[in-house]
Chains A and B, each alone.
Chain A
Amino acid sequence: MGLLTNLRDSISRAASTLFSEEDPKRIGIYGPPNAGKTTLANRIARDWTGDAVGPESHVPHETRRARRKENVEIERDGKKVTIDIVDTPGVTTKVDYTEFLEHDMEKDDAVRRSREATEGVAEAMHWLREDVDGVIYVLDSATDPFTQVNTMLIGIIESQDLPVLILANKIDLEESSVQRIRNAYPQHETIPLSALEGDNMDEVYDKIAEYFG
C-alpha cells in the first residue's frame, strides 16, 4: 500500500513539475523540538519578504501548528527560486503536559498546550506524507543527533523520495559539533549555520536554490 502511495505521489510530483513550472515548491522545515526551526523560518522570511512566520521560544512546542509563509522568492546568481516555507512543530513520540508546568504554567494551560502540541505533530506527520515537495531538516549541533526520532524521520523522508537538506544549527555555541551530524547522517549533505546570528546564511540559500529550485 505504501509503495503504491509512494509511486502515485512521485508521479503526481513529477507531473506537477512538468505542468506548472512556476508553482512554488512547498518546503517543510522539520526537526526535533528546540532545534531552531522557527528561528530559521523567520530569518528566511525576513531576509526575502520582510516579515516573520511565528514566535520563537525556549519553551518546547511553541510552534503547535504548521505555519506557512507563501511565495518566498529567493534570488541566487540572477535566478529566482520561489518556495512556500512550512514551519512545523518539533516531531516527537511523546508529550507530557507536566513538563510545561516547569515553565510556570497553570495546569489548564499546560494541558491545552500539550493537546495543541499533539495535534500539531500529527498534522506535521500528515503533511510529510501528503503535502511537501522537499524538506529542510534542522538539528541543534550542540546536542546528540543520533536519536530515534531523527533516525526515524529521516528514514520516512527518504522513503518518500523527497529532497532533503540537513542544517546543523547553533554553530555559535561552544559545544557545537557539525562533524557529529555528518557522521550520523553521511548519506546527506550537512550545512552548518547559526539561524540566530545569521552565520553562513549565504551557503544555506545557495543550497536551498540548488535542492529545491
Chain B
Amino acid sequence: MAEIKGPDDGVQIDLISGERMDGLASMEKIRIILDGVRDGNIVILEEGLSPDEESRLIEVTMTEISPDEFNGIEIETYPKSETADQSILDRIMGKESTKKLTVIGPANQIETLHKDETLISALVSRK
C-alpha cells in the first residue's frame, strides 16, 4: 500500500476490495496483509480469506514473529460459517462461500472489545 502517513500521525487503515484480491495467489495475499500489519496498519478485507489461506496466514505469521519487534496478528471475522452446510461437490466446483469481512491488525495494537454474528467492535491504539 502507498506510504502516506508520518510515523506519529495516527493509524492507517487499508480497505482491500474483493476484486483486488481475486486475481492474486494465496501467498501474494498473505504478503500484502502481513506487510501492512507489520507497518502498523489495520487491514480490512472485503471478502476475507479461504480456510486454506487462513491456515497459511497463521503459519507465515508464526515464522515472522520476533521478540520486541513483531508479536503476531489479531484477526476477526464474523463467526457465521457457511462451509458447514456445503456439500463436498459444491466445494470441488468452486462454490466456496467464504466471503466474510475480515479485520487484521498487529496484536499489540488492536484489541477486540466485542464480537457477535453481526458486529465486531475493536479498540485500536497507536504504536
Contact = CB atoms under 8 A, between A and B. Distances in A.
Interface of A: 1-3, 5-7, 10, 91-97, 111, 114-115, 118-119, 121-122, 125-126, 128-129, 146, 148, 151-152, 154-156, 158-161, 184, 187
Nearest to B84: A187
Given A3-B94, A94-B73, A125-B59, A158 B65 contact: no
5 contacts: A1-B25, A2-B26, A96-B72, A97-B67, A152-B75
A5 B55 CA distance: 14
A115 to B, nearest CB: 8
Contact-residue size bin, chain B (C-beta under 8 Å from the other chain): 35 or more
B74 A1 contact: no
Given A96-B71, A115-B67, A155-B54, 17 more contacts: A2-B53, A3-B96, A94-B65, A94-B71, A94-B73, A94-B74, A94-B107, A95-B71, A122-B58, A122-B63, A126-B59, A146-B115, A155-B81, A156-B55, A158-B51, A159-B52, A159-B83
A154 B80 CA distance: 12
Given A93-B72, A114-B67, A158-B83, A1 B26 contact: yes
Interface string B36-80: 000000000000001111111011011101010001111111010
A93 B61 contact: yes
Nearest to A157: B51
A38 to B, nearest CB: 19
B58 to A, nearest CB: 5
Contact of A3 (B53, B74, B84, B91): B91
B108 interface: yes
Given A1-B26, A114-B65, A159 B50 contact: yes
B57 to A, nearest CB: 8
A73 to B, nearest CB: 31
A110 B57 CA distance: 24
Contacts of B72: 92-96
A1, A2, A6, A115 — most chain B CB neighbours (10 Å): A2
Contact of A156 (B54, B74, B85, B107): B54
Contacts of A118: 62-63, 65
Nearest to A91: B58
B15 interface: no
Contacts of B108: 96
B50 A148 contact: no
